[in-house]
Structure 1
Amino acid sequence: MIDTGKNGEFRYEQSTITDQDEAEFGITPSQTVGPYVHIGLSLEDSHLMVEPGTEGAIELEVAVVDGNGDPIADAMFEIWQAGPDGVHNSDLDPNRTTPATADGFRGLGRAMADANGAATFTTLTPGAVGEEAPHFKVGVFARGMLERLYTRAYLPGADLSADPVLNAVPEDRRDLLVATETGNGYRFDITIQAEQGETPFFAL
Structure 2
Amino acid sequence: MRRRFDYLKETPSQTAGPYVHIGLAPGAAGFRIYDQELGWDIASPNAEGEQIRVEGMVVDGTGSPVKDVLLEVWQANANGIYAHPEHGGAVEDGFRGWGRVISDFETGEWGFGTVKPGPVMGRNSQMMAPHINLWIVARGINVGLNTRVYFEDEAEANATDPVLNVIEWERRRATLIARRSERDGLAIYRFDIRLQGDDETVFFDI
Same fold by TM-score greater than 0.5: yes
Once residues 82 and 152 of structure 1 are traced to their aligned partners in structure 2, the CA distance between those partners, rounded to angstroms, is: 13
Note if contact 1:57-1:124 (Cα within 8 Å) is conserved in structure 2.
yes
Q: What amino acid sits opposite 1:197 in the alignment?
A: D
Give the count of matched residue pairs.
176
Shift of 1:90: 0.7
Which ranges in structure 1 are unaligned for 5 or more consecutive residues?
1-23
User: Larger strand proportion, structure 1 or 2?
Assistant: 2
Q: Corresponding residue for 1:178?
A: 177
Q: Corresponding residue for 1:200?
A: 202
Note if contact 2:153-2:180 (Cα within 8 Å) is conserved in structure 1.
no
Q: Corresponding residue for 2:60?
A: 66
Note if contact 1:85-1:128 (Cα within 8 Å) is conserved in structure 2.
yes
Q: Residue deviations 1:49-83, cap 9 Å, x none?
A: 12357663221113211111100000111111110
Taking structure 2 as the reference length, what is the TM-score of the superposition?
0.78
Q: What amino acid sits opposite 1:30 in the alignment?
A: S
Q: What amino acid sits opposite 2:167 in the alignment?
A: V
User: Larger helix proportion, structure 1 or 2?
Assistant: 2
Which ranges in structure 2 are unaligned for 5 or more consecutive residues?
1-6, 27-36, 122-126
1:25-40 → structure 2 map (5 Å cutoff): 26-40=9-23
Q: Percent identity?
A: 41
Taking structure 1 as the reference length, what is the TM-score of the superposition?
0.79
SS at match of 2:95: coil
Q: Residue deviations 1:1-25, cap 9 Å, x none?
A: xxxxxxxxxxxxxxxxxxxxxxx96
Once residues 25 and 162 of structure 1 are traced to their aligned partners in structure 2, the CA distance between those partners, rounded to angstroms, is: 49
Q: Tell me if 1:132 matches 2:134.
A: no
RMSD of aligned residue pairs (Cα, Å): 2.1
Note if contact 2:46-2:94 (Cα within 8 Å) is conserved in structure 1.
no
SS at match of 2:128: coil
